[in-house]
Amino acid sequence: MRHGETEWNRQGRLQGRKNSPLTDLGRAQARQQGEILKQINGIEGFDAVCSPLGRAQETARIALSAVGKLPRLEPRVAEINAGDWEGQTFKEICGAPPKFHDKDLMRLFLTAPKGEGFDALRARCVEFLSDLEQPTIVVSHSVTLCMIRGLLRDLSRTEIEALDRPQGAVYEMSAGVETLWSSVSARV
């Protein structure tokens, strides 16, 4: 699950490892994720982990309380470090308001000067996944979750960059198959 909408999401700022509080919409998205989680069979046996960044912790607190889970903090699911571009708007980075598709925003994170980059993020996520011992709810961030989903589905870099990243939804992964829950009782 991706964290709910933040003030910086609304402003078009790259957050990376910096933090911004959830908006009212972001908290509503987290509540929706909690309702979705109630619909997933067997969730009572799942572990739960959360990025240590505030926006993910707040989302986890709201969403996971609906299913009686307390997540443990997991630094390996923190958002990618966006280097010199953290806190800047897309206009500041690109010189103009973005005129590109959402998948192109992902490339900004992956190519940021002094940022973590694709290979380092991939290595961190591979290590995290290899340590999982049971089904796990992961509350994280846009780019990191795309990497985790891509690894579980054996996708190429181009395919990972093109993945959607909605807020307020839940991705269920099982045996390399991804199911998007976009609302309560709505599997797509």
Active site residues: 3, 79
The partner residues of 137 in beta bridges, in order of sequence, read 48
Q: What is the CA radius of gyration of the chain?
A: 16
Q: In whole angstroms, give the CA distance from residue 135 to residue 153.
A: 16
Contact 151, 178 (CB under 8 A): no
